[in-house]
Amino acid sequence: MKLSNPSAVPVYTISGSATARPLPEWLARQRKRSLKQDPEWANRVELLQDFEFEEASQCVRVSDDGEWVMSTGTYKPQQHVHYLPHLSLSYARHTDSLNQTFLLLSSDYTKSLHLQTDRTLEFHTPGGMHYRTRIPRYGRDLKYNKRSAEALIPASGVNADGMGEVYRLNLELGRYMKAYEVDVGGDDWTSSGAGALQGGINTGCVNTAAIAEDSHNLLAFGTSIGTVEFWDSRSRSRVGLLSSPTQSQEQRPQVTALEFHRSGLNLATGDSDGIVHVYDLRSPMPLLTKDQGYGYAIQTLKYMSPTSTQVQSEKLMSADKRIIKIWEASNGDPWTSVEPAVDLNHVEWCKDSGMLLTANEGRQQHSFFIPQLGPAPKWCSFLDNLVEEMAEDAQDPSAFNAGAQETGAVYDNYKFLSTQQLRELNLDHLVGTTSLLRPYMHGYFVAQKLYEQARLISNPDMFEEQRAKSIAEKINKERESRIRGNKAVKVKVNRRLAEKMAAREEANERRKARRVLRQGGDEPQPQAEGEDEEDTDKPARGVLGDDRFASLFQDEDFEIDEQSREFQLHNPSTVPVAKDAERKRGLTAVEEEANQSIHGSSDDESESEIDDAAAERQQRGVQRRNDRGDDNTVDKNRISSTNYRKSGHKSKQPQMSVSSSQPKNKNANANRRDRSFGDLAQNLRDQPKSSIRQGGVVGEKEVTFAPQKVQKRPQRPRESYGGGDADDGNGRKIPRGKERRSASGNVFRGITMENGPNELTEDEGSPLVSVPATSEQQEDHRVDNSGEREFGGAVGVSCMMIGFPLLMYYMWIGATFYNGHLPSRTPGQSWSALFSHLGNLCYEHAFPHLKAWTIYWTFLIFEGACYLYMPGVYGKGKRLPSLDGKQLEYYCSAVWSWYTTIILAVLLHVSGLFPLYTLIDEFGSIMSVAIISGFLVSFIAYFSALHRGAQHRMTGSPIYDFFMGAELNPRLFTWLDFKMFFEVRIPWYILFLTTLGACARQYERYGYVSGEALFLLMAHFLYANACSKGEELIITSWDMYFEKWGFMLIFWNLAGVPLSYCHCTLYIANHDPAEYHWNPYLLTLLFITYLFVYWIWDTANSQKNMFRAQERGVELNRKTFPQLPWKAVKNPVAIKTKTGDSILCDGWYGKARKIHYTCDLFFALSWGAITGFDSPFPWFYPLFFACMIVHRAIRDIQKCREKYGEAWMEYERRVPWLFVPGVV
């Protein structure tokens, strides 16, 4: 084991010969005697037993379970199988011909397919060769398509039509299928053998193949004319052709290696000149071009994507017969390389590790270890320790840091600190953020200089303390030579502990002596307690005589503070003795003076404070004894067994009292205790009542009060808050400066199009007449006193804010990379590997790059400009209690904005400036931008409202208030109403443009647009058009009138609706129309049914809004497309309510109370049904919407019954059907 590449990324050669050709057998036998003195031989690592062939190795593979390695080589032709957990050869088997390449068909070694050089395919099992078949021409490569269970064999030569062939052997059926015919330039008619079965000398051939099995399963075949053909295994047809970037036909090299990226979007190619190209399948020009450097053909290409290692970026490995190079897959920067002494035939990477195995010329197979690529595989985990030892051993010439420093000098200038010590030194913020801390075991190594600086900063007096301690140590050392008393004391601190332990030892000795005497022994009994010791030099036993515990009784750092609360809790029966009362025996005068100056506990108060407190306690004790006749002076604050009463005596109960003031005259206070309650209350009758208490507070007191509403003077509404005109106090309106429009609201939580005619919760009960605010509505609008919390309160909304973005990413990954299925674990894949894979897909294909930000925010800014400057109409909303019943004015210009957006989008697509299918290609990145924008706008809206004091109905829970919102009607300079702008334009316009982009993608790919795609385009157009033409009707909806502008509305409009309701569009864009093809007659019937239901939906909402307008005395007669019959009911029948409002029970709402909900549900179900049932993601919106509709209908009925009472019950009797007349 030695260091092969001492660069920034070291490569260790674990096994393999260091020479190009091994020594002859006779010379090797002679040199064996001298190998004992060879340090390289003595320190060798034999990774696998007999990991070699007698002449050369051809191919090597590692099983998917990581426990088996199969190799083929010569001479004689044979195959070796190693069992990795045992690091040994399992078996060796000879074959009739030399192997060219092979594949492991199972997760272990039990099933393998071998391509031999004699045009045979051999199937091997542990028992031997299972079956053999022959192909017409010589094979060049071997691949296995797992989805169709087919073995693909690219071959040399051409068929009768002059086309190269890729043979297909179906392993499920056990027979050959029709071969893929690939253009290879025809036969070589200039050489002998032309026209024969095998062709001429330079006949065309298919050199290699690759399968994108982790994504779209596209097949790629590299040819001898430098082209790469792409085939779809489902339709068995060619779908694309990639030519070499070299223009000259004579200089075009052959394609010898192919490798798909796991995403399926990138393809790496290697040619016969040693050039590696990396392509994006969406572009014919290479993203990267790298030269191997030696001009040999590329033999191996491999994307290295570790899922559980420290590698931050993906790598690309390329190998020819001379060198192995590893590049950065993103930018092509060289990472590391290794150049063995022998020619290479094949390189295999052990997944999720830093191990490379090679099949090469020469006897021994090579194995290389790259620690920075990943850890050692689990079957040779000891390599990690060996590498660490080599890196630290300066005496080893193969070490990575050889000669850099002496052995053991790595940690000489470092201090080991635990996590607690780092926290005490205020260094814990450096953990994981810098290289100043080196993790080791349960702590970290810190540079000694940094440690000293941190200690000095945390304790500025450290130098003075250390200096005083050093001086004290020197003085104590000099005192050792002084003359002491007869009984010298060796204990300086913890004297009471030492005496207790000594007494315990003496008691143990006496018990031991008595036990010996009882057993008939003649050992003398120890001295009785209290007798003087005759031998003063007798050594102490136990802890007192153990040098390991000497510091416990000599070092002041180990002194026990008996006055601390912790000591008293653990020793309740121990009475602390003052330090000056301790008896000092055998000490010098200097030591006695020093002991007297020892400080007490750091937790105690100063002496003067203690005296003052003691005096105060004594005074209160005297007063209590005078009042109660109690002469007990025992301190009740002391927790000790000395305070306990003996049995038979009644313990004194604690006295509890509450007073609001301290009496100024204690004698007067004492006299008051002897008076009755009636005498005290008699004096209170003549005293004036006062709500103010005087004197100091002693004890605890419970105070109750009734809050009174503060009458506020009427104020003029702030223009920046609610918009609209101000009042001059005389009833006249003061117009605003430029007559700008104002608006507000959310569509799909309370859009008028979804509201029934009788919804109190959505539109305040259907066709209701707005009335001025009552006195009950004049309460402070800033505080929410209802106590109701929707969605489960703070916990529920937190889960929604975290879970829904994750759900959006999960559905997008399944729709894009899992063929519309739920992303789940593959056989043998762990949960951590799955989540890592999903995270990598999001990072690679959903990164919020600058292009996505530009697309998304350019659209938002354009729609904002259309909102302000396009023609429109004005309308007034409901009266707002928070603005003293004022009605806000809204500017409605969505119709012109809608058609302007469509025209501009079509022009950009036709001109090529912005193809609409870019929304499909960049969907992941745009979704990330939308999610981030939703959070950013929510934070800005929330904190802006708090800063300006514009909050409304705040609950006091920051998380819940952030989710629901803080401001009711936010506006930009009183012009742009944010709720109105976000509700109508953003979500449904994006949804329609995405569907339009899917149709453009389908036309660009297939040359036509399917009927299913046209149905979705029609459905989304009608829905967005209805929202635009009914914009002036939304201003009285529940969302505009009641809902606040918070995360719920912002995120749902910016990201939730447009990018989660569109999975039916994504499914159509990502799948062939044949997969979801409808019968033409059924599709026609669906078109007709959808248009009929749309007519019911549109006219029902129109009847409701027309009735409202008539009640308010407003005329609504806009000529917007489409104009449908029966959009208004003449002389409608209505029910008057006790609140003065009216309930419409005519027209469509005379047939079913929630008929518009039925239409909404039909729309959602048709959007999912048009894609079929192969994928669950297009059905997310129908299921979600159905649950929301049912919940909303139940809530509306309950609210209306509470508000309208008998009038609503009469409406239910007249119109008994809820959704479908005669059914439900």
For 544-590, the pLDDT digits (tens) are 777 788 888 888 778 888 888 878 878 877 776 655 444 444 555 55
N-terminal to C-terminal alpha carbon distance within the chain: 80
Give the whole-angstrom CA distance, residue 425 versus residue 427: 5
The two tokens of residue 187 are: 């036969």
Extract the tokens encoding 988: 């449904």
Nearby residues of 515 by Cβ (< 8 Å), 6 or more positions away: none
CA separation for the pair 987, 971 (Å, rounded): 19
Residue whose tokens read 């440690």: 451
User: What was the pLDDT predicted at 781?
Assistant: 72
Looking at residues 73-92, what average pLDDT do you find?
Answer: 91
Listed residue (910, 875, 798) closest to 1109, CA to CA: 875
Strands 228-232 and 237-242 come out as antiparallel
Residue 600 pLDDT > 50? no
Q: What is the largest CA-CA distance in the chain?
A: 137
Q: Residue range 525-537: average pLDDT?
A: 44
Residue 769 has pLDDT above 90, yes or no: no
Partners of 258 in the β-ladder:
269
**Domain residue ranges in the chain:** 70-134, 137-298, 410-476, 490-518+544-578, 726-1072
Unique residue bearing structure tokens 């309208």: 1204
Q: What is the pLDDT of residues 1096-1142, one digit of tens each?
A: 999 998 888 888 777 766 666 677 888 888 888 888 888 888 877 78
Give the pLDDT of residue 617: 53
Mean pLDDT of 1075-1091: 93
3-state secondary structure of 972: strand
- What pLDDT does 596 receive? 52
User: Where does the pLDDT of residue 200 fall: very low under 50, low under 70, confident under 90, or very high at 90 and above?
Assistant: low
Are the C-beta atoms of 900 and 870 separated by less than 8 Å? yes
Of the pLDDT bands very low, low, confident and very high (cuts 50, 70, 90), residue 162 is confident
1065-1088: average pLDDT: 92
- The whole-angstrom separation of Cα 123 and Cα 125 is 7
Higher pLDDT, 171 or 609: 171
| Predicted pLDDT at 753 | 34
Length of the chain: 1224
> What is the residue type of 207?
N
Q: How far apart are the C-alpha atoms of 436 and 452, rounded to whole Å?
A: 14
Cα–Cα dist 809/807, whole Å: 5
Q: Which residue has the higher pLDDT, 284 or 886?
A: 284
- What pLDDT is recorded for position 490? 63
**Could you tell me the pLDDT band of residue 344, with boundaries at 50, 70 and 90?**
very high
Residue 217 CA to residue 117 CA, distance in Å, equals 28
Question: What whole-number distance in Å separates Cα of residue 7 and Cα of residue 337?
Answer: 9
CA nearest 336: which of 392, 374, 377, 287? 374
How many other C-beta atoms are found inside a 10 Å radius of the C-beta of residue 1078? 18
pLDDT at 747: 35
- Of 249-253, 698-702, 710-714, highest mean pLDDT: 249-253
In three-state form (DSSP H/G/I as H, E/B as E, the rest C), the secondary structure along 1116-1156 is CCCCCCCCCCCCCCCCCCEEECCCCCEEECCHHHHCCCCHH
- Give residue 755's pLDDT: 36
d(CA 954, CA 65): 57
DSSP state letter for 10: -
Look at the block and give the residue holding tokens 């008699």.
682
| Omega before residue 76 within 30° of 0, cis | yes
Spatial CA neighbour of 744 closest among 337, 951, 1049, 423: 1049
Q: Which two tokens mark 1089? A: 């049914």
> Who's near 873: CB < 8 A, 6+ residues apart?
891, 892, 1032, 1118
Q: What's the pLDDT at 767?
A: 37
Element (H, E) at 879: strand 873-880
- Segment 487-508 shows an average pLDDT of 79
The pLDDT of residue 815 is: 92
Beta-bridge partner residues of 191: none
Q: Are strands 120-125 and 112-116 parallel, antiparallel or unpaired?
A: antiparallel
Residue 555's pLDDT is 81
Tokens 């071997």 belong to which residue? Answer: 142
Distance CA 313, CA 144 (A): 28
Name which residue leads in pLDDT, 230 or 553: 230
**What CA–CA distance (Å, rounded) separates 750 from 48?**
70
Which segment, 6-10, 292-296, 524-528, 1109-1113, is predicted with the most confidence on average?
Answer: 292-296
pLDDT tens-digit map of 1162-1175? 999 999 999 999 99
Higher pLDDT, 746 or 375: 375
Q: What is the CATH number of domain 137-298?
A: 2.130.10.10
Is residue 693 pLDDT above 60, yes or no?
A: no
Identify whether the C-beta of residue 976 lies closer than 8 Å to the C-beta of residue 721: no
Q: Taking 60 as the threshold, does the pLDDT of residue 249 lie above it?
A: no
178-198 per-position pLDDT tens digit: 999 999 887 766 665 566 666
User: Which pLDDT does position 246 carry in this prediction?
Assistant: 62
Q: Which of 1167, 873, 842 is nearest to 992 (CA)?
A: 1167
Determine the Cα–Cα distance for residues 1003 and 1005; give it in Å rounded to an integer.
5
Residue owning tokens 């003496």:
506
d(C-alpha 1072, C-alpha 1063), whole Å: 15
What is the pLDDT at residue 1101? Answer: 87
DSSP H or E stretch at residue 415 = strand 414-418
> Which phi-psi region, left, alpha or beta, contains residue 432 (left: φ > 0; alpha: ψ -120 to 50)?
left
With residue 1135 as reference, give the H or E element that holds it.
Answer: strand 1134-1136
pLDDT in tens, 604-640: 444 444 444 444 555 555 455 544 444 444 444 444 4
Lowest mean pLDDT among 290-304, 374-388, 645-659, 853-867: 645-659
* pLDDT at res. 507: 87
Taking the whole predicted model, whether its pTM rises above 0.85 is answered as no
- 651 closest CA partner among 668, 667, 634: 634
**178 half-sphere exposure, CB direction, 13 A CA radius:** 6
Cis ω for the linkage preceding 75 (within 30 of 0): yes
Contacts of 776-781 with C-beta under 8 Å, sequence gap 24+, read 777/881, 778/881, 778/884, 779/709, 781/881, 781/882, 781/952, 781/953
Mean pLDDT of 679-689: 51
Q: Looking at residues 844-861, what average pLDDT do you find?
A: 94
Using DSSP's 3-state secondary structure scheme, residue 419 falls into: helix
The pLDDT confidence band at residue 314, using thresholds 50, 70 and 90, is confident
pLDDT tens column, 826-852: 888 889 989 999 999 999 999 999 999
pLDDT of residue 1202: 85
pLDDT tens track for 372-426: 888 888 888 888 888 877 665 544 444 444 444 443 444 567 888 888 888 888 8
CB burial string 764-778: b at 16+ within 10 A, e below? bbbbbebeebeeeee
Q: Over 60: is that where the pLDDT of 722 sits? A: no
**Per-residue pLDDT tens digits for 965-1024:** 999 889 887 788 898 888 888 999 999 999 999 999 999 888 899 999 999 999 999 999
The model's confidence at residue 669, banded by pLDDT at 50, 70 and 90, is very low
Q: What is the CA radius of gyration of the chain?
A: 44
Going by pLDDT thresholds of 50, 70 and 90, the confidence category of residue 1083 is very high
809: pLDDT strictly greater than 60:
yes
**pLDDT at position 16:** 78
Q: What is the number of helices (H) and of strands (E) in the chain?
A: 33, 40
Average model confidence (pLDDT) across the chain? 78
Q: Which residue has the higher pLDDT, 77 or 18?
A: 77
pLDDT exceeds 50 at position 1039: yes
Which of the pair, 1222 or 958, is modelled with greater confidence?
A: 958
Q: What is the pLDDT at residue 234?
A: 87
Burial category of 344 from C-beta neighbours within 10 Å (exposed 0-12, middle 13-18, buried 19 and up): buried
Confidence category of residue 1025, pLDDT binned at 50, 70, 90: very high
